Structure 1
Amino acid sequence: MAQVKLLGFWYSPFSHRVEWALKIKGVKYEYIEEDRNNKSSLFLQSNPIHKKIPVLIHNGKPIIESMLILEYIYETFDGPSILPKEPYDRALARFWAKFLDDKVMAVVNTFFRKGEEQEKGKEEVFEMLKVLDNELKDKKFFVGDKFGFAEIVANMVALWVGVYEEASGVVLVTSQNPKICAWRDEYINYSPVKKYLPPRRDELLTFFQPRARAQATTSASAPK
């Protein structure tokens, strides 16, 4: 029987990407929570170069980087597909997944950086939201009416951005992004997805609030 382990952080959207894919596929796995400040020997041996989560270990072989892990899960395990059947739709799903993944650091910089880095992040995120708003239009999801690869990667925009906004007081998604707002509501309330969403949103907020306050304090005390 295949042995599957996932090393991650409970508060990480990247870890949750992989968990969702495994759950959609119906893959049985062991989740191992890592300590950010005291990573396990298994983790360090499995990802000695980047030392980042998530790490998927399948039959003793480690796979790293969440996007590559999602592709590995798609290709390796039986069960419902996380990518569309039609080649064009698969390409479209991969395109939007990459687009969203490329913007992750801009989102993070907007909430957890200050000064020029934050302003640069805001500009990039606002442009991303315009593009997404135009793309979604009246679509339920990025590719057809089925939750899949692009939505898994979009979990940062769908859920974590709202948590970050509440924790930091920096608001990005507004009435100027009506399609994003509608898509986010559809995403969070879509019944096949709800069971895969992090069950601890309040804990996510509690986790990120001190970090946001620390950044605000640092900014306020910095020389003008």
Structure 2
Amino acid sequence: MAEDHEVVVFGVWGSAYSRRVETALKLKGVPYKYIEEDLSKKSPSLLKYNPIHKKIPVLVHNGKPIVESLVILEYIDETWQGGYPLLMPKDPYQRALARFWTKFIDDKCVPAILNAFRGEEQEREKAGEELAELLKLLEKELEEKRFFGGENIGMVDIAANVIGFSLGAFEEASGVKLMTREKFPKLCNWRDEFMSNSAAIKENIGPSREKFISFLRNYLRNK
């Protein structure tokens, strides 16, 4: 059985949240078994390991499930500390800031990205303006750093894959550019370097991103 493996990930190919978990495992060099879920017909294993939310991603480590992507990222960071640098800063204050920005991305940026590409035109424009204000805050937070985590990809960078993966895919599928280099040069540089940084990102996000763009083009054409 797949669950007999030491580390198992239940996910969905088009989910930025699934990609977060796989990115962290690849960066840490942790072997794992990936199981693709059909959310229209959730598997008994998914319901067994996440009976409360019944959502992906789920990480199962030695038979014990961990759910919610940000919680899983911290678990991975604390469990496999050799090799790749820690995803979370050691300093308590910096660690608190990292948690703040990951929550900011999920609670504020993700809804704005989705709303900017669906609904009526007036609603999309309003969401696009809101997203621009949120991106300004991330642009400022980057300052002159290579990544949000400094010289290495960290927790905030992996959480911000919704910008490199999801926002970029929505822009390519719709032809509407919301994060331009003129307005957000630092974020664009971050996105380009993050998306092409290593096999952990390129092999994990790249193929799924192209498939996601094709899916979104069909979705936006037929909505």
- Which TM-score bucket, shorter chain as reference? 0.7 to 0.9
Shift of residue 2, structure 1, vs aligned partner: 7.0
Structure 1 position 33 matched with structure 2 position 36: yes
Structure 1 position 167 matched with structure 2 position 167: no
Are residues 117 and 25 of structure 1, via their aligned partners in 2, closer, same or farther at CA, if it must alter by over 3 Å?
A: same
| 3-state secondary structure, aligned to 1:199 | helix
Match of residue 88, structure 1, among 80, 93, 105:
93
Residues in 1 aligned to 2:67 and 2:22: alpha-carbon distance in whole angstroms: 14
Gaps of 5+ in 2: none
Contact 1:92–1:143 under 8 Å retained in 2? no
What is the CA deviation profile of residues 15-64 of structure 1, one whole-angstrom value per residue up to 9, with x for unaligned ones?
00011111122222110001122211111222223222111112222221
Structure-1 residue corresponding to 2:212: 204
Contact 1:166–1:205 under 8 Å retained in 2? yes
**How much identity, in percent, do the aligned residues show?**
50
Shift of residue 157, structure 1, vs aligned partner: 0.6
Are residues 46 and 203 of structure 1, via their aligned partners in 2, closer, same or farther at CA, if it must alter by over 3 Å?
A: same
Residues in 2 aligned to 1:45 and 1:109: alpha-carbon distance in whole angstroms: 32
| 3-state secondary structure, aligned to 1:111 | coil
Residues in 2 aligned to 1:132 and 1:72: alpha-carbon distance in whole angstroms: 25
The total of aligned residue pairs comes to 215
Contact 1:25–1:82 under 8 Å retained in 2? no
| 3-state secondary structure, aligned to 1:37 | coil
Structure 1 position 49 matched with structure 2 position 52: yes
Shift of residue 72, structure 1, vs aligned partner: 1.6
TM-score with structure 1 setting the length: 0.86
Contact 2:112–2:130 under 8 Å retained in 1? yes
Gaps of 5+ in 1: 216-224
Structure 1 position 137 matched with structure 2 position 143: yes
Amino acid at match of 1:147: I
- Calculate the aligned-residue CA RMSD, in Å: 2.2
Match of residue 105, structure 1, among 103, 111, 114:
111
Residues in 2 aligned to 1:120 and 1:58: alpha-carbon distance in whole angstroms: 43
Residues in 2 aligned to 1:111 and 1:58: alpha-carbon distance in whole angstroms: 37
Structure 1 position 16 matched with structure 2 position 19: yes
